[in-house]
Amino acid sequence: MKLPQHANVSSGVDRRHFLGASLGLIAATSLGGLARPASAASPILLPPLPYADSALAPVISANTIGFHYGKHHKGYVDNLNRLLAGSDLADLPLEKIVAAVTGKADKTAIFNNAAQIWNHTFYWNSLRPNGGGEPPVALKQKIEASFGSVDALKKELATAALGQFGSGWAWLVADGDKLKVVKTGNADLPAAGLKPLLTIDVWEHAYYLDYQNRRADYVNALLDKLINWEFALKNLG
């Protein structure tokens, strides 16, 4: 698996504090699988999928899950543990590792692998079998206040996912009381102060085995049939 050579960190933005405002809060609740064992310098673990590898079919096949989760996601975990061995970061939880290396050119490889572990775990939880449909009332009200309608939000998420040149992510985030859609490239995460609610992976390995170059078909099917509104509401708090 070939990893990106550089993290796509937006210039002029203090990205080093993003976890304190957003990701750390979510990791402590929704993504409990990210926690590492209590013993010092124990390896980062591959979090289990929240469903069977065939549970998202036919939108995302078991074959795609096998490669995406079993090869790519696992590869980030294996690479990160190799990169951390013997370092002063080796006994830190994942979120603190990402925060410690964000924006540091000499730690790009660690950032890429650590952030991709976090992003992928968040992505798996952003999907669920028989998802889509109407969001819970509390979330729907927030969506309507920010976008006008659920359909308008889905259109904006699709536009962000399709407009991301190359590899990256489309995110629904909370910015204070308002919801927004943002996109990031490669392993990058939303900027400081934005709380991720759900994400769509638009790296080619997320869809190419099932959809080839038809990213739009993948994104639209995911939004209609798999998106996990309950996860977004839980993250909204």
Helix (H) or strand (E) holding 175: strand 168-175
User: How far is 194 from 173, CA to CA, in rounded Å?
Assistant: 6
Contact assessment for residue 209 and residue 63, using Cβ atoms and an 8 Å cutoff: yes
Q: Is 205 annotated as a binding residue?
A: yes
125 Cβ neighbours under 8 A, 6+ residues apart: 30, 31, 50, 228, 231
- Residue 212 burial (C-beta neighbours within 10 Å; 0-12, 13-18, 19+): exposed
Taking the alpha carbons of 19, 24, 25, 27 in that order, is the dihedral positive or negative?
Answer: positive
User: How far is 132 from 84, CA to CA, in rounded Å?
Assistant: 38
Tell me the residue length of the chain.
237
Q: Is 6 annotated as a binding residue?
A: no
Residue 198 gets which letter from DSSP? E
Q: Extract the annotated binding site.
A: 68, 120, 201, 205
Report the binding-site residues for Mn(2+): 68, 120, 201, 205
